[in-house]
Amino acid sequence: MRTSLGCPISNGMKVILLKSVPKLGKKDDVVEVSHGYAQNALFPRKLAIPANDSSVSDLNRRKQNIVVENEIKKELLDKAIKSLNESKISMAVPANDQGSLFSKIHEEDIVEFLLKNHRISIDTKFITLPDGPIKRVGDYELKIVDGDYKTKLNLNIIKK
């Protein structure tokens, strides 16, 4: 069947989402939508591009590169943490004579310390403190979890 303009009628067209669209899909999903919705809503607002052979192969290549990049990052992080665990990491902070810290140590403080002193970059959302923010001098075992990657980091808090 054809329209009055001679174009074939089809149920819809496949598009690659450039951004997450509510009730439709997430970024980089390939979804099927009506021609009108794609032409009048998604394309003008740069939310999607047509899913042709070259754009789908580009998307697959980009996804593969992200997977490889994440694997490399995890390997480098694992090597760095293993080398750090061999030597004890000590963080000197102001504390009173009883061992209570003047200010709590949060994940952000640990990330900043590791970046500044050991050149290791970790996102704060991957670090888990066992009992919340650190309040006292002592040895702590931090969990670092990023998806299926899990490791531990030993941190020694000492009085400055």
Helix (H) or strand (E) run with residue 15 in it:
strand 13-17
CB atoms within 10 A of CB 12: 13
- Please report the domains of the chain, with CATH numbers, ordered by start residue: 13-51 (3.40.5.10), 74-159 (3.10.430.100)
Task: Supply 18's token pair.
Answer: 């450039």
CA gap 43, 15 in Å, rounded: 9
Residue 85 has what pLDDT? 66
- What pTM was computed for the model? 0.58
Buried residues in 78-101 as b, exposed as e (16+ CB within 10 A)? eebbeebeeeebebebebeeeeeb
Helix (H, G, I), strand (E, B) or coil at 29: coil
- For residue 147, what are the contacts with CB-CB under 8 A and spacing of at least 6? none
pLDDT in tens, the chain (160 residues): 445 444 555 578 999 999 999 999 999 999 999 999 999 999 999 999 999 999 999 999 999 999 999 888 888 877 877 777 666 788 999 999 898 999 999 999 998 998 898 888 888 888 888 788 999 999 988 888 877 777 788 889 998 8
pLDDT of residue 86: 63
